[in-house]
Structure 1
Amino acid sequence: MGDTIRTIFLIVAFSILMAFQINMAADIRTTHQLKNGAELAIHDAMLAYNKEELSKGKVVFNQTYAKKYLVDSLNANLKLTGTATSTILYPKKDSFFTQPVKLLKVVFVDESNTKSFPYTYKDPEYDVTQILKRPGIVAILETKAPRYFKGKDTIVRQATSFEFQQSWVEN
């Protein structure tokens, strides 16, 4: 009888630990997926620089196209749906994400709105500080990690920045 009770206790304890582990792995994977998707999307958005301003030696982003490229890249890489004017992107059926991804902020730091670099971007609302050595874009995204077992939702927020590289310019 004692062996049976110990066995049942071990099975229950193992099941609880596995549930915690699987949920934690989902949190970690969500963080990685969101970070990687955001980095790719910001890189794509950086390609929407104003060529006329660049010929004058200034880096200025076309914010309309940059936002479109950013959202298109998030849609393609994270399997989401949304438009350039969307702040909420919804997951497709084959997406890892089960909850919408919110595009909390996209900030363009270029030579049309900043006098000198390096520039320190601070956002007290989301507790984000990014130092940009050159013109760049900062994006803040948020979603909830999927729960495979009942538990408190984990909100994953990712702030990502990318700086303009002169080597990208076509010759």
Structure 2
Amino acid sequence: MGKLVFSVLMIVIWWMLHALQMDEEVAMQTVHEAKRAVDRAAHAAAQQVDRDKLEMGIISIDPALAEVATLSYLRNNLSLDTQLAPLPGSFLRDQVEVKAFAIINEDESFPYTYRNPLYDYEVTLRRPGVVLIAHVKYPRLFGVIAPVEWDLKGSAELVY
């Protein structure tokens, strides 16, 4: 009888360890996919040239177009709706929050160092660029690990 109870307990422990490993692997896949989406969104925003200023020889990012591009890339790459809430079939379950979105334009002197102590982020830009910080929550599969949330940071410069 003791061996049977021991065997059942070992099977339960093995299942929990297996669930923990699966949860951790899916969490890593989630953070990598979300980080790629944030990087792509920042890059897309940084490429939105202000054509009116460009005609005057000033290289600048159009803030309105940059914001639209950022949200569009986040929605498309993370399967989100217009409120940044996950669509059916998305690997996320909670709404994505844009915590910081900064456009560093020609009115700054370059190289420019962007600092955000709240999110412990610093980046040096050599030309006009965009900084994006988005908050993503991991939808745990089994509830074996504690809730996991990330502030994913991305930046990009205008390429010309």
TM-score above 0.5, yes or no: yes
Counting matched residue pairs gives 159
Q: Is residue 26–residue 146 contact of structure 1 (8 Å, CA) maintained in 2?
A: no
Which of 142, 156, 160 pairs up with 1:162?
156
- Alpha-carbon contact 1:27-1:156 (below 8 Å) kept: no
- CA deviation after TM superposition for structure 1 residue 16, in Å: 1.4
Q: Which residue in 2 is equivalent to 1:108? A: 103
Supply the distance in 2 between the matched residues of 1:127 and 1:52 (Cα, whole angstroms).
Answer: 35
Higher relative contact order (CA 8 A, sep 6+): 2
8 Å Cα contact 1:45/1:69 also seen in 2: yes
In 2, distance between residues paired with 1:25 and 1:146?
12
TM-score (norm 1): 0.85
Structure 1 segments of 4+ aligned residues over 4 angstroms from their partners? none
1:130-164 CA distances to partner (integer Å, 9 max, x unpaired)?
12122210000002101111243111110100111
The aligned counterpart of 1:74 is 74
Q: Which runs of 5+ in 1 are unaligned?
A: 83-87, 167-171
Q: 2: distance between equivalents of 1:33 and 1:20?
A: 20
Task: Verify: 1:118 aligned to 2:114, yes or no.
Answer: no
Mapping for residues 51-90 of structure 1, pairs under 5 Å: 51-82=51-82, 89-90=84-85
The correspondence for 1:131, drawn from 124, 128, 137, is 124
Q: Any idea what the Cα deviations from partners look like across 1:56-104, whole Å, max 9, x if unmatched?
A: 443211111110111111111111012xxxxx51000111111100011
Write the distance in 2 (CA, Å) between the matches of 1:57 and 1:16: 62
Mean Cα displacement is larger for which, 102-111 or 51-60? Answer: 51-60
Deviations 1:25-58 (A, max 9, x none): 2321221111111111122212211123234443
Amino acid at match of 2:111: P
SS of residue matched to 1:81: coil
Q: Structure 1, residues 98-136: CA drift from partner, whole Å, max 9, x if none?
A: 110001111001113x12x22111001111111212221
Cα distance, 1:2 vs structure 2 = 4.2
Cα distance between partner residues in 2 of 1:60 and 1:131: 17
Q: Which residue of 2 aligns with 1:46?
A: 46
| Consecutive unaligned residues in structure 2, runs of 5 or more | none
Superposition map of 1:20-35 within 5 A: 20-35=20-35
Identity among equivalent positions (%) equals 29
Under a length normalisation based on structure 2, what TM-score does the superposition of the two structures give? 0.90
SS for the counterpart of 1:129 is strand
